[in-house]
């Protein structure tokens, strides 16, 4: 069965994202940096953004819990764009090549509503997508099946005719259970190989 939809995750597939990129500028001691990220501004905090809680609401609540860390916490709202790293140009090149094929290109991302609005001007490759589903706008996140089902209903995706690309094993597992072809993303060259294996007419990676 041919592939007619290719669905990309965004963070760490097309652009690097890491809280550490901001906080290594603000905390010199690596032990203290790890403590802050493990105990204060944790990935669970970021998950609240992914579900749609406004950034300023998240940081205000966190500053109440950790008043001694207020300045560092507020930096997350004031300087959030500094958590974005480099665009992964090899994957963007793959995305651009896919634009020349008879497939619909979609993005499905766990990302905050307001932080995604901040990121959009920084990420011109987003214009290559025919549709983008952002968890913070929908109030549901990967790997919950509901966000995949929303993607399918909104963009007429038949999972058996679609491939889903993500760096998260949990997200890939859910997509697979729902019938998608899947690529557990490691790098653009291997992703390209797997897409070719699914019958997409892409140039072979340069060895």
Q: Tell me the C-alpha distance between 63 and 66, whole Å.
A: 5
Residue 140 predicted with pLDDT over 80 = yes
The token duo for 145 is: 């099946």
Mean pLDDT computed over 146-169: 97
Residue 25 has a pLDDT of 96
14 vs 2, higher pLDDT: 14
Q: Which residues pair with 5 in a beta bridge?
A: 104, 162
pTM listed for this prediction: 0.94
pLDDT grade for 1, boundaries at 50, 70 and 90: confident
SS (H, E, C) the chain: CCCCEEEECCECCCEEECHHHHHCCCCCCHHHHHHHHHHCCCHHHHHHHHCCCCHHHHHHHHHHHCHHHHHHHHHHHHCHHHHEEEECHHHHHHHHHHCCCCCEEEEEECCCHHHHHHHHHHCHHHHHCCEEEEHHHHCCCCCCHHHHHHHHHHHCCCHHHEEEEECCHHHHHHHHHCCCEEEECCCHHHHHHHHHHCCCCCCCCCC
Q: Tell me the C-alpha distance between 137 and 150, whole Å.
A: 12
Mean pLDDT computed over 84-101: 96
pLDDT grade for 207, boundaries at 50, 70 and 90: low
Residue 28 predicted with pLDDT over 90 = yes
pLDDT grade for 8, boundaries at 50, 70 and 90: very high
Residue 201 has a pLDDT of 86
pLDDT grade for 203, boundaries at 50, 70 and 90: confident
């Amino acid at each position: 069965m041919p592939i007619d939809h290719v669905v990309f995750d965004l963070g760490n597939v097309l652009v690097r994202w890491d809280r550490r990129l901001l906080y290594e500028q603000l905390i010199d001691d690596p032990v203290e940096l790890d403590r802050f990220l493990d105990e204060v501004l944790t990935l669970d905090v970021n998950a609240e953004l992914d579900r749609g809680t406004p950034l300023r609401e998240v940081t205000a609540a966190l500053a109440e819990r950790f008043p001694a860390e207020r300045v560092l916490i507020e930096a997350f709202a004031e300087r959030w764009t500094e958590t974005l790293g480099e665009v992964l140009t090899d994957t963007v090149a793959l995305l651009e090549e896919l634009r020349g094929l008879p497939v619909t290109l979609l993005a499905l991302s766990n990302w905050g509503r307001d932080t995604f609005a901040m990121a959009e001007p920084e990420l011109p490759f987003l214009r290559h997508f025919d549709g983008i589903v952002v968890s913070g706008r929908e109030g549901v996140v990967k790997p919950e099946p509901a966000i995949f089902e929303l993607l399918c209903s909104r963009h007429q995706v038949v999972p058996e005719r679609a491939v889903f690309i993500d760096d998260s094993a949990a997200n890939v597992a859910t997509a697979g259970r729902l019938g998608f072809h899947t690529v557990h993303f490691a790098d653009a060259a291997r992703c390209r190989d797997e897409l070719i294996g699914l019958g997409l007419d892409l140039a072979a990676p340069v060895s």
